[in-house]
Chains A and B, each alone.
Chain A
Amino acid sequence: GDSVTQTEGQVTVSESKSLIINCTYSATSIGYPNLFWYVRYPGEGLQLLLKVITAGQKGSSRGFEATYNKEATSFHLQKASVQESDSAVYYCALSESSGSWQLIFGSGTQLTVMP
């Protein structure tokens, strides 16, 4: 079936350093999935950070970027300079490009930014 893999359960980065959170996907039943990054800040609900629905395109929001790489089946999340306020849990997800838009999530990556 379709799946999303996030290999790092926890990432710790010092403030102002760069960040990459890895995400790879398998979409055997979905030809060209839509790809998403969701974030849950402490004490808040899950919210959409960015999405990309076209292979080769880049999405960006709040200084974060992710590029839809169809060849590598990857959608890594990057930021050039993290802030303490970026500390949160980040989830990679995919959905069909037509039909239900049901989301399939990865297991999440807890980001801790040290001051």
Chain B
Amino acid sequence: EAGVTQSPRYAVLQEGQAVSFWCDPISGHDTLYWYQQPRDQGPQLLVYFRDEAVIDNSQLPSDRFSAVRPKGTNSTLKIQSAKQGDTATYLCASSGHYAEQFFGPGTRLTVL
């Protein structure tokens, strides 16, 4: 069974540039999570979906970050105008209903 896949694996941007991260969850998993993990910290939840619906995006900086999961499968997280403080690893995870979360390898973002 294929795991959670993410792309790209690395991204380097100048401040003000936009970037998108893509996540393909495990087939059949209805819940998808996006986490931000700054260096030397634990992952922090940004947003999560059940099927195509956003369940909680209260930790997503809505002025610059957006996330969609239009068909309840793949998901895209976008940063409109990146800041140096956005430098972090972005993790995607998926789970069956109320079950264990499986994590992808992450996208390491550096904003110069």
What residues make up the interface of A, taking CB atoms closer than 8 Å to B?
4, 9, 44-48, 51, 91, 93, 100-108
Contact = CB atoms under 8 A, between A and B. Distances in A.
Given A102-B48, A102-B56, A45 B43 contact: no
A90 to B, nearest CB: 11
A101 B3 contact: no
B41 A101 contact: no
A44 B4 CA distance: 12
A107 B56 contact: no
Q: B interface, by DSSP: helix, strand, loop or mixed? A: loop
Given A47-B102, A102-B33, 13 more contacts: A9-B40, A45-B3, A45-B4, A45-B91, A46-B91, A46-B103, A47-B103, A48-B100, A91-B42, A103-B33, A105-B43, A108-B41, A108-B42
A103 B98 contact: no
A103 B48 CA distance: 11
Interface bin, chain B: 20 to 34
Contacts of A108: 40-42
A45 B106 contact: yes
A44 B105 CA distance: 7
Contacts of B14: none
B66 interface: no
| Interface-central residue, A46, A91, A93, A103, by most chain B CB under 10 Å | A46
Contact of B44 (A47, A100, A105): A105
A45 B89 CA distance: 11
26 contacts: A45-B3, A45-B4, A45-B104, A45-B105, A46-B91, A46-B93, A46-B103, A47-B102, A47-B103, A100-B48, A100-B55, A101-B95, A101-B99, A102-B33, A102-B45, A102-B48, A102-B56, A103-B43, A103-B45, A103-B101, A105-B42, A105-B44, A106-B42, A107-B41, A108-B41, A108-B42
